[in-house]
Amino acid sequence: MKPRIFYTKPSITEKEVEYATDAARNGWGDRCYEYINRFEEAFKKHLGVKYAIATSSCTGALHMGMAALGIGPGDEVIMADTNWIATASPIVHLGAKPVFVDILPDSWCLDPAQVEKAITPRTKAIVAVHLYGNLCELDELLAIGEKHGIPVIEDAAEAIGSVYHGKRVGSIGKFGAFSFHGTKTLTTGEGGMFVTNDAELYEHVLTLSNHGRARGQTKQFWPDMVGFKYKMSNIQAAIGCAQIERIEELTQRKRAIFAHYRNRLTVLPGLSMNPEPADTVNGAWMPTAVFDAGTGIAREQLQAAFAEENIDARVFFWPLSSLPPFEAVSGNVHAYQIPGKAINLPSYHDITENELDRVVQTLFALYRKLGLIK
């Protein structure tokens, strides 16, 4: 059998090992927050924001940020139907309702026109998820939010390295949230980051992040409110410090892999990939191929073709409204149609030229088998 090609895995060097070892050996007592503070400072500088809080996950960052905005029972939060459940679960945990709207057919991100239609007196926020590193139409979404007095939250879990009109995504909305899961461009194994330029919101989330204990509180073990425990560990942050020092290398490698696929694959009829509109940079976390209905290519055929070549085939996100916890919104046409004719392509940093060619040739072979090319 041919060697397996994984869809993703992190890039770990001796630098990450060195920092993590130092944190494990020495990062205790008065040094217990050293790497956390260092990671937050470096991330703020990279992103160009005033405030950052390292968290145990992107989900935790979203949960605390939404809680600090006062989202609760009876409220509605608008988001795209095409997403991972991690964006919706904090809304549900807060007692609010996620309102799923359709995506744009080219970027697979939130459709601003559908957002406008979905706004009600109960709408408390709009969550813009930069899917697979693709860019949401932030100017339009921010204008809608301003018109209705509704904050726009950026879920940039998959979009480190993406830039919208000169600004790094995650730094533009009311607050941003990032993921450092082991599959992401920058990893701490598990972990995330809350970022904002709003001083009041930052202080509220900072208090929530430490079981409700405000940093100005002089009484020991005196929480001012019921909070959460979504803190990142010092050892995780040590890995993050090494990764953020390599961030340009990591993101450029992702973009190079995406460019390779785009240059080789978009010659195939009826195949489109992640877009990169003018004045934007796609961080290219997850190169994705979507096939026109006319090709007749379906998800199951793609999975079978890749499995035969011992290549991981990662499926496009199911519509959230199609999952058991939620009610179906079959009118979200693109969210329901695209997953059945799409596939995520392997894109880990250390993937070789030969491995990329194996992925490409698998798709060419499928096209030949179906008589779509000679």
Helix (H, G, I), strand (E, B) or coil at 263: helix
Total domains in the chain come to 2
Neighbours of 266 (CB within 10 A): 12
Residue 216 confidence (pLDDT): 87
374 residues of the chain, pLDDT tens digit each: 899 999 999 999 999 999 999 999 999 999 999 999 999 999 999 999 999 999 999 999 999 999 999 999 999 999 999 999 999 999 999 999 999 999 999 999 999 999 999 999 999 999 999 999 999 999 999 999 999 999 999 999 999 999 999 999 999 999 999 999 999 999 999 999 999 999 999 999 999 999 999 998 999 999 999 999 999 999 999 999 999 999 999 999 999 999 999 999 999 999 999 999 999 999 999 999 999 999 999 999 999 999 999 999 899 999 999 999 999 998 999 999 999 999 999 999 999 999 999 999 999 999 999 999 98
Question: How far apart are the C-alpha atoms of 199 and 154, rounded to whole Å?
Answer: 17
* Amino acid at residue number 139: D
**Pick from 192, 213, 245: which residue ends a domain?**
245
In angstroms, the CA 47 to CA 160 distance is 9
Asked if 363 and 313 touch (Cβ cutoff 8 Å), the reply is no
275 and 186 belong to one structural domain:
no
Q: Which pLDDT belongs to residue 370? A: 96
Tokens describing residue 57? 């996950």
Alpha carbon distance 125, 110 (integer Å): 13
Of the three residues 245, 276, 299, the one that is the final residue of a domain is 245
Classify residue 184: in a domain, yes or no.
Answer: yes
Q: Are residues 322 and 219 in the same domain?
A: no
Flag whether 321 is in a domain: yes
User: Based on the domain organization, do 267 and 134 belong to the same domain?
Assistant: no
> Could you tell me whether strands 280-281 and 123-129 are parallel, antiparallel, or unpaired per DSSP bridges?
unpaired
Secondary structure class of 310 (helix, strand, coil): coil
104 is written with which tokens? 């744009």
Whether 81 and 99 share a structural domain: yes
229 and 294 in a common domain: no
Helix (H, G, I), strand (E, B) or coil at 253: helix
Backbone torsions φ then ψ of 287, nearest 5 degrees: -55, 130
* Closest C-alpha among 184, 137, 145 to residue 165: 137
* Distance of alpha carbon 228 from alpha carbon 124, whole angstroms: 21
List Cβ neighbours of 329 (8 Å cut-off, separation of 6 or more). Answer: 81, 100, 101, 319, 321, 335
SS (H, E, C) 214-238: CCCCCCCCCCCCCCCECECCHHHHH
Give domain status of residue 53, yes or no.
Answer: yes
Beta bridge mates, 181 = 189
Rg over alpha carbons for the chain, rounded to the nearest Å, is 21
- Spatial distance between the Cα atoms of 316 and 82, rounded to a whole number of angstroms: 9
CA-CA distance, 102 to 110, in Å (whole number)?
7
CB count in 10 Å sphere of residue 146:
11
117: left (phi > 0), else alpha (psi -120 to 50), else beta?
alpha
Q: Which domain holds residue 197?
A: 14-245
Q: Does residue 213 belong to any structural domain of this protein?
A: yes
Q: Are residues 227 and 299 in the same domain?
A: no
Strand partners, 229: 210
